[in-house]
């Protein structure tokens, strides 16, 4: 019984290009009590592997958080499968407005302590007592209300390339960092303001809204389906688009363009740019914004030092990556002293 990927990312990429079949990029989440996450994980992997589903899925006792790439011709089969799981029947699927054949190259279903690392003790408050879910139209109406405070629940590298007009965008590295900062900044408005939150697909707001209600905020709202669903509704219903720039996404596309504005800049030269890349030095892998000119000049690296390392033979690069002392240098998100124009 296969419970793991047998193909490498490169092998999968070649098969996807050869097949040339349309695929849908989508995401969903659900909070539920899962008694045996390991067994549920195996059940999902076996079924989805047979459907040629790819993606990144986290399963925990508290529920599931999934970002997926599904063959378009097998979507109905996929939908029937998840509808057959009692707590996923009719779950909202956030379908991307831009699809990419290679948004995911592997199927990864992992068991975690939580489906989102929030640092909260869920036993201290009722996670079911959530804020009011609002659609794109109601969300726009709330933004037009001078009594509204709009908060972006995402991290700095996400909001840097795109956010809603007038939103508070905390300069944080993680979701858990944002929770106490926002509460402290808005402490004086727990009763007299509308606290309206949004994130990529809705999952962070789902927990945050319950937490803030527990902490005394009276009027708490969240954008249902997040930016992904907002963009879809705006397009379908011809609503005013209040989002500027790109929506950062956690797959190989890295972002979806929601409006034509470019609100970020290249971290190396300061030129208007909103394209995230990873440093070509695998021992660094820093996520940062880089324009085409700097990419060519720096060989897709974040610094001269990384450029020199990336030019070394593969075995020499591999040797330099050895050792636990190097592990904390990898997968940083847009913060480094080498990035001169990082805002």
- Say whether 199 is catalytic: yes
Tokens 């726009």 sit on residue = 140
Annotated catalytic residue, options 199, 205, 279, 291: 199
Tokens encoding 334: 């847009």
- Mapped onto helix, strand or coil, the DSSP state of residue 342 is coil
Euclidean distance between CA atoms 181 and 174, whole angstroms:
12
How would DSSP label each residue in 113-164? S-SS-----GGGS-TTSPPEEE-HHHHHHHHT-TTEEEEE-S-HHHHTTEEE
Q: What is the largest CA-CA distance in the chain?
A: 62
Which H helix or E strand runs over 188? none
Helix count and strand count (H, E) for the chain: 11, 14
Tokens encoding 95: 């379908």
Closest Cα to residue 342, out of 248, 270, 292?
A: 270
Beta bridge partners of 301: none
Euclidean distance between CA atoms 332 and 286, whole angstroms:
5
Residues identified as active-site: 199
């Amino acid at each position: 019984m296969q419970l793991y990927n047998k193909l490498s990312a490169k092998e999968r990429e070649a098969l996807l290009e050869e097949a040339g079949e349309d695929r849908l990029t989508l995401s969903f989440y659900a909070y539920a009590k899962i008694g045996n996450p390991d067994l549920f994980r195996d059940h999902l992997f076996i079924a989805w592997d047979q459907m040629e589903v790819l993606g990144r899925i986290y399963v925990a006792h508290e529920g599931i958080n999934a970002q997926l790439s599904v063959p378009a011709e097998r979507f109905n089969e996929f939908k029937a499968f998840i509808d057959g799981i009692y707590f996923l029947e009719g779950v909202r699927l956030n379908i991307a407005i831009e699809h990419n054949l290679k948004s995911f190259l592997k199927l990864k279903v992992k068991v975690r302590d939580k489906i989102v690392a929030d640092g909260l003790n869920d036993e201290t408050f009722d996670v079911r007592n959530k804020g009011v879910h609002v659609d794109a139209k109601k969300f726009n109406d709330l933004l037009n209300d001078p009594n509204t405070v709009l908060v972006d629940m995402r991290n700095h590298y996400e909001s840097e390339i795109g956010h809603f007009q007038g939103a508070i965008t905390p300069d944080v590295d993680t979701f858990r960092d944002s929770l106490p900062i926002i509460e402290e900044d808005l402490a004086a408005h727990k009763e007299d303001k509308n606290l309206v939150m949004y994130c990529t697909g809705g999952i962070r707001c789902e927990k945050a809204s319950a937490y803030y209600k527990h902490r005394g905020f009276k009027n708490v709202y969240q954008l249902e389906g997040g930016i992904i669903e907002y963009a879809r509704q705006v397009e379908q219903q011809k609503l005013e688009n209040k989002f500027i720039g790109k929506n950062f996404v956690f797959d190989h596309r890295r972002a979806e363009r929601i409006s034509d504005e470019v609100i970020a800049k290249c971290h190396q030269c300061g030129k208007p740019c909103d394209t995230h890349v990873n440093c070509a030095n695998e021992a660094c892998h820093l996520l940062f914004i880089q324009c085409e000119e700097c990419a060519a000049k720096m060989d897709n690296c974040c610094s001269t030092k990384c450029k020199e390392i990336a030019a070394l033979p593969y075995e020499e690069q591999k040797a330099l990556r050895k050792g636990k002392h190097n592990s904390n240098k990898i997968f940083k998100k847009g913060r480094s002293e080498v990035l001169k124009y990082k805002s």
